Amino acid sequence: MEITLTGLESRVTRGVVSGIFAGTIFLLATMWYADSQDLPAVAPMLDISTIFYFADKPVVSPENVSVGLVTHLTLSMVFGITFALVAPLLTSARALVLGALGFGIALYVFNFQVLGRLFFEWFQEGPNQAFELFIHAVYGLLLVPFFASGIRSNRATAPGEPTGR
C-alpha cells in the first residue's frame, strides 16, 4: 500500500520534520552555549518553560526541563510548518537561503523583541541577545536542505537545455 501526499500535506510534513531537526540542533547549540557561560546546560529549557506557564522567570525543576523541551519542539514544528508554507514562493537557491535566513531573524525579532518586550520580560534579561540572534538565523538556514528539492523541480528549463529525462 503506497501513501501519496498532496502538495500541502507534503509541505506540512517537511515543515514538521525540518522544524524538529533544526529545533534540535538549535537546542543543543543553545545548551552548549549556556554551559560555556557557566550556566546549567538545561537553562534554555527552563527559559522556554516560562512560555508554557506564562511566567516572569524560570523555575528550576525537573518537570520544567521537560515542559521546556516539549514547548521548544512544538514551537520548532510550528515554525517549520510556517516556513514550509512560504518556501514555494522562494524559487531559486539564493532566494531559499536568503528567505530562510530572513525567516530565522524574523523569528528572533518576533520572539525576543516583540513577545519578549510585551509578555516575557525574562527573554530580555536572561538570554544573550547576540547569541539568540545568531542561533535563530542558524535555525532558519537549517531548514534549507528540506526544501531545496523544490527549487530543482520548480526551475524552468532554459531553451536548448537538457530536461534530465
pLDDT in tens, 4-32: 667 889 999 999 999 999 999 999 999 99
The pTM of the full predicted model, rounded to 2 decimals, is 0.85
- Phi/psi of residue 25, nearest 5 degrees: -60, -45
> What number is the average pLDDT over the span 105-120?
92
**pLDDT the model gives residue 159:** 52
pLDDT in tens, 70-98: 999 999 999 999 999 999 999 999 999 99
Neighbours of 22 (CB within 10 A): 26
CA distance 148 to 151: 5
- The answer to whether residue 164 scores a pLDDT higher than 70 is no
Confidence of residue 3 (pLDDT cuts 50, 70, 90): low
**pLDDT the model gives residue 157:** 47
Q: Give helix then strand counts, H and E, for the chain.
A: 8, 0
- Residues near 126 by Cβ (< 8 Å), separated by ≥ 6? 47, 57, 58
Query: Phi/psi class of residue 131: alpha, beta or left (left: φ > 0; alpha: ψ in -120 to 50)?
Result: alpha
Percent of the chain with pLDDT over 90: 73
Percent of the chain with pLDDT over 70: 88
